[in-house]
Amino acid sequence: MTRALILFAHGARAATWAAPFERLRELTQARVPGVPVSLAFLELMEPRLPERVAELAAQGVTAVTVVPVFLGQGGHLLRDLPLIVEQLRLDHPGMAISVSGAVGEDPSVLAAMTDFCVAQL
């Protein structure tokens, strides 16, 4: 099994928006040097998730973990992402695709966000 990690973000028109996601990708990649870590977007930015998964499949990756870098579970994660993943599983039957919870719902992430909010006062 050849694994890969995809950090899945919303995307935005402003290029500045991608900076912390690219930073997150770098930080994560440094921690798991043997596993390719890449970004993919829902909309407005490239690459989109299907394009990224197709690239990884072409490279021989057989197991992908998608981490939604979203603050909460809105329609994008409840509706859009499951439909995209369902189609990806049809398109890549030899690939195991798992999807984690949203980054913003993790207790440690919430704790760090709390520290930041308190520090702004």
Least CB distance from residue 50 to a second copy, whole Å? Answer: 20
Residue 79 carries which DSSP code? Answer: I
Q: Which residue has the tokens 């072409």?
A: 58
Look at residues 38, 42, 21 and name the one whose alpha carbon lies nearest to residue 84.
42
Contact between 16 and a second copy by CB under 8 A: the answer reads yes
- Residue 59: how many other CB atoms lie within 10 Å: 10
| CA separation for the pair 90, 88 (Å, rounded) | 5
Buried residues in 96-108 as b, exposed as e (16+ CB within 10 A): ebebeebbeeeee
Q: Which is nearer to a second copy, 53 or 102 (CB)?
A: 102
Per-residue contact string for residues 54-93; x = within reach of a second copy by CB under 8 A = -----------x-x-xxxxxxx--x---------------
Question: Which among 49-57, 81-89, 96-104 is the span making contact with a second copy, rule CB under 8 A?
Answer: 96-104
37: three-class secondary structure by DSSP: strand
The residue among 41 and 88 lying less far from a second copy, judged by its C-beta, is: 41
**96 makes contact with a second copy (CB under 8 A):** no
**Complex with a second copy: residue 90 or 116, whichever CB lies closer:** 116
| Angle, vertex CA 100, rays to CA 57 and CA 63, nearest 5 | 25
| Contacts to a second copy by CB under 8 A | 3, 5, 7, 9-10, 12-14, 16-21, 23-24, 27-28, 31-32, 35, 37, 65, 67, 69-75, 78, 100, 102-106, 108-118, 120-121
